[in-house]
Amino acid sequence: MNQEGPRLTFKQNINEYIKDVELSDQFVALLRTHPSSDELDDILKQKELEVQKRQIFLQFTHERHDCDLLANMLQESGQDRAADKLRQYNKSEEPWSYTNDIKLNVVNAKTLRSGHSTYFRMDSKPRGRAVIFVTIPALRNETLRWQSLLEQIYFRVEIHPGLTCDGINTVLNAVVDDRNEGDSLIVMFIGHGHDEKVLGSGEAPGDEMSVKTIVDKFSEDKCPSLRNKPKIFLFNCCRNKWPEREVPAKYLGNSKLLVVNLESIDTSWVNVNKRTYVIYACAEGVKSWYDEESGLTIFGQAFSHTLAQYAWYKHLTELIMMTHSRLESEFINSKYELRPEIKMNSVDRQLYLNPGLPRS
């Protein structure tokens, strides 16, 4: 039972659940063969029977395989009802079905995951600044959804529609020069792109800006107000080559989900960025796609649902991996197989976007 959502439900219902459990001699003998049996004798020394049962079913169910073994032991000792119930709790949490509604209600965090040596500090209010650029008018609904999601987790969101790259550059320079008092920064681009570049609104010849240029503006030496803070850059745009050519299937299959440096964006990059995440909606050489009727991109639909459902106990890298897996299962071997990626540089902690209540 290693998913925190199902485990929390089990813990909330454990007092009712253990009413169906009998610590029979046969069941206790089977428990001594369980991987967690080292703790059994100490547990059985407890005076209260209910305490014994509660501790057994909390300590012996941390891993899914161990929980399955425990259910089998219940069944073998003639406790079929308790075994079936435990198997129900041990199921994976199913991803939410897609909706085209702008608002997705984010599941609130139950545990604060912020600060110390394990987590990036993420408890300020506002959490940080989220700057969203959209250059395709049909994707207005996607920007509104991201605004809703990020505001629910205490980000200060600003949307900049229909800008040329000169306009995007002006906004980014203002962010660099700002005080940036929150704990983090998100820069999101939703629009057209190619060859590790984004295109401005209207796609005039030469109206483009490289990913390297955007990310480099927030390096340690150029943006001291964000030094030591996590910076997330999300590019929801095509990465196919111009002039366009067919992308072979084997290229898709070899794309890398997780890269721990940024040189793959530009091999000549003298990179001085730290605590930096670069997220792509699709693999290099691949097109991104959107639905004109809903005003949502394929990647945005999957990632927004994943974040809303799981960000309360999954860190950013896990969220992208889950989004990648979901899209792979839904669109494998089709032209919509995006294979999103995340590249990181000097990331030494886990980043939870919904780590718990912020400081007031």
Q: Where are the domains of the chain?
A: 4-89, 128-345
pLDDT at 262: 72
Give residue 353's pLDDT band: very low, low, confident or very high (50, 70, 90).
very high
| Tokens describing residue 89 | 């709790």
pLDDT in tens, 279-322: 999 988 889 999 999 999 999 999 999 999 999 989 999 999 99
Q: In which residue are the tokens 């111009």 written?
A: 242
Tell me what the mean pLDDT of segment 333-339 comes to.
83
Q: Are 162 and 173 in contact (CB under 8 A)?
A: no
Mean pLDDT value across the chain:
90
- For the cut 70, the answer to whether the pLDDT of residue 254 exceeds it is no
DSSP symbol at 18: G
CATH class assigned to 128-345:
alpha beta
Per the CB < 8 A criterion, the answer to whether 214 and 175 are in contact is no
Of 318, 103, 282, nearest to 190 by C-alpha is 282
- Give the Cα separation of 290 and 230 in Å (integer): 28
Q: Which long-range contacts (CB under 8 A, 24 or more apart) does 14-20 make?
A: 14/54, 14/57, 14/58, 15/50, 15/54, 17/57, 17/82, 17/85, 17/86, 17/89, 18/50, 18/53, 18/54, 18/57, 20/79, 20/81, 20/82, 20/85
Instruction: Encode pLDDT of 86-131 as tens digits.
Output: 999 998 788 999 999 999 999 998 888 999 889 999 999 999 999 9
User: Quick one: residue 250, left, alpha or beta (phi over 0 = left, psi -120 to 50 = alpha)?
Assistant: alpha
In the predicted model, is pLDDT for residue 264 greater than 80? no
When pLDDT is averaged across residues 261-266 and rounded to a whole number, the result is 68
Cα 40 from Cα 42, distance rounded (Å): 5
The answer, yes or no, to whether residue 354 has pLDDT greater than 60, is yes
110: part of which helix (H) or strand (E)? Answer: none
349: phi > 0 → left, psi -120 to 50 → alpha, else beta; which?
Answer: beta
Q: Is 151 exposed, middle or buried (0-12, 13-18, 19+ CB in 10 A)?
A: middle
How confident is the model at residue 285, as a pLDDT? 87
Distance of CA 212 to the CA centre of its chain: 23
Q: Taking residues 247-259, report their average pLDDT.
A: 45
pLDDT at residue 243 in the model: 56
Is pLDDT larger for residue 63 or for residue 302? 302
Confidence of residue 267 (pLDDT cuts 50, 70, 90): low
Q: Which one-letter amino acid corresponds to residue 320?
A: I
Q: Is the pLDDT score of 70 beyond 80? A: yes
User: If we measure between CA atoms, which residue out of 329, 326, 319 comes closest to residue 95?
Assistant: 326
pLDDT average, residue stretch 139-149: 98
Using the predicted structure, report yes or no on whether residue 249 has a pLDDT greater than 70: no
The whole-number pLDDT of residue 251 equals: 34
Task: Assign 247 a pLDDT band (cuts: 50, 70, 90).
Answer: very low
pTM: 0.81
